[in-house]
């Protein structure tokens, strides 16, 4: 696994690549490239942004771990319980296969 100095270099390279890709996408839009080319460039840019976000998250984690006596953030409250709505969507008598319609 790379150390913090290596990850810093990766972050700098990712920022440079991202800036270059953004310039290319902007130039494609200005030059009137076809929609397909602009969409492909935008998808590539989105993928690069995702990779840059992953690298940055890894850098922050390594930075945090390198701190002496580092204590993690306190966990937030648990998410609320999800209600199971399927019990309300079951057919209630009537003809089978008619979904949630109730027949008297």
Got the DSSP string for 28-94? HHHHT--HHHHHHHHHHHHHHHHHHHHHHHHHHHHHHHHSTT--PPPP-PPPPPPP-THHHHS-BSS
User: Is residue 39 assigned to a domain?
Assistant: yes
**Apex 91 CA angle, 90 and 93, nearest 5:** 140
User: Is residue 74 assigned to a domain?
Assistant: no
Per-residue model confidence (pLDDT) at position 12: 93
User: Is residue 54 assigned to a domain?
Assistant: yes
Per-residue model confidence (pLDDT) at position 66: 80
Which residue stretches of the chain have pLDDT < 70? Answer: 1, 70-75, 83-104
Per-residue model confidence (pLDDT) at position 5: 86
Per-residue model confidence (pLDDT) at position 19: 94
Per-residue model confidence (pLDDT) at position 22: 94
Per-residue model confidence (pLDDT) at position 86: 62
Range of the domain at 47: 4-63
Residue 26 CA to residue 45 CA, distance in Å, equals 11
Overall domain count for the chain = 1
Per-residue model confidence (pLDDT) at position 71: 65
User: Is residue 16 assigned to a domain?
Assistant: yes
Per-residue model confidence (pLDDT) at position 89: 63
């Amino acid at each position: 696994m790379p150390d913090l100095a290596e990850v810093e270099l990766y972050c700098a390279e990712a920022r440079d690549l991202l800036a270059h890709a953004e310039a290319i996408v902007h130039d494609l839009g200005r030059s009137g490239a076809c929609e397909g080319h602009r969409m492909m460039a935008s998808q590539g840019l989105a993928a690069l942004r995702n990779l840059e976000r992953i690298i940055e998250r890894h850098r922050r984690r390594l930075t945090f771990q390198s701190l002496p006596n580092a204590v993690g953030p306190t966990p937030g409250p648990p998410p609320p319980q999800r209600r199971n709505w399927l019990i309300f969507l079951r057919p209630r008598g009537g003809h089978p296969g008619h979904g949630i319609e109730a027949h008297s």
